[in-house]
């Protein structure tokens, strides 16, 4: 079984960008932690990062179709961990992509989006995700992965 981890815009800048909100760990650090934990549960992690909304939409659609079309070529997709970054608050396209697939999606955020600027309080994707985890820095991703491991 496979878990897809999608990192949205500006997450490639982790470790450099606003460490007071996002911590000092890099994207590579987070990905390595996820790969290590997943291996203990015999899960494969695939990671993807893009600053481009359409690429994120395409990746979600691809993951949703992998379960049906690509079973023989790759492992079955168990779930998606998605940090959509700023697109969380603006993207109807991401919301539509998530709602068009059967693979469960967990929305994650490094910072507590509800304790920040007002415009960050609204998530366009929360209603179509299995759940939302925010405010635990890199551990937000770990908690999402533990849901897929335990559930």
Check 7, 22, 87, 141 and give the catalytic one. Answer: 22
Task: Give the span between the Cα atoms of 127 and 53, in whole angstroms.
Answer: 19
Write the CA distances from 91 to 14, 19, 52, 75, 124, integer angstroms.
22, 25, 11, 29, 6
**Could you confirm whether 114 is annotated as catalytic?**
no
22 in catalytic set: yes
Q: How far is CA 51 from CA 6, 48, 149, in A?
A: 11, 10, 28
Q: List the catalytic residue out of 7, 87, 109, 141.
A: 109
Which active-site residues does the annotation give?
22, 109
């Amino acid at each position: 079984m496979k878990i897809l981890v999608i990192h949205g815009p500006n997450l490639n800048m982790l470790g450099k960008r606003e460490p007071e909100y996002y911590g000092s760990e890099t994207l590579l650090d987070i990905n390595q932690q996820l790969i290590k934990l997943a291996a203990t549960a015999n899960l494969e992690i695939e990671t993807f990062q893009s600053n481009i909304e359409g690429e994120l939409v395409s990746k979600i659609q691809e993951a949703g179709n992998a379960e049906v079309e690509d079973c023989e070529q790759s492992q079955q997709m168990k779930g998606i961990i998605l940090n959509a970054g700023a697109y969380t608050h603006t993207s109807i396209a991401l919301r539509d992509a998530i709602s068009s697939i059967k693979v469960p999606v967990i929305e994650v955020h490094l910072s507590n989006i509800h304790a920040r600027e007002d415009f960050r309080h609204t998530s366009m994707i929360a209603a179509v995700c299995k759940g939302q985890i925010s405010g635990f820095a890199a551990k937000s991703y770990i908690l999402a992965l533990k849901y897929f491991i335990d559930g």
